[in-house]
Amino acid sequence: MQKQLAVFERTVLRRILAAVCDGCYFRRRYSDELIIMYGELDIVSTIRLSRLRWIGHVSRMAHHRKVYQVCYNQPEGKE
């Protein structure tokens, strides 16, 4: 899944940043060029950071909250 997201991200960036004119012909941008031009974290790293930030919120929640119980495998109540 991570590889598919990375491929999709590079495809979108290639469309946005367009081709490069080398002499008298055009070529696609290389992945290294895309990374340098974009200058931000890739999609996989962004998702990982968001998940870590969410777990930080959940870990500080009150222990009786359902989200906390589900994440830490302590659900109570009816099924």
**CA torsion through residues 58, 64, 65, 66, sign:** positive
β-strand pairing of 25-27 with 20-22:
antiparallel
- Residue 26: the pLDDT is 87
E strands within 1-79?
Answer: 20-22, 25-27
pLDDT in tens, 1-39: 888 988 898 888 888 888 888 888 888 888 888 888 888
Q: What's this model's pTM, rounded to 2 decimal places?
A: 0.63
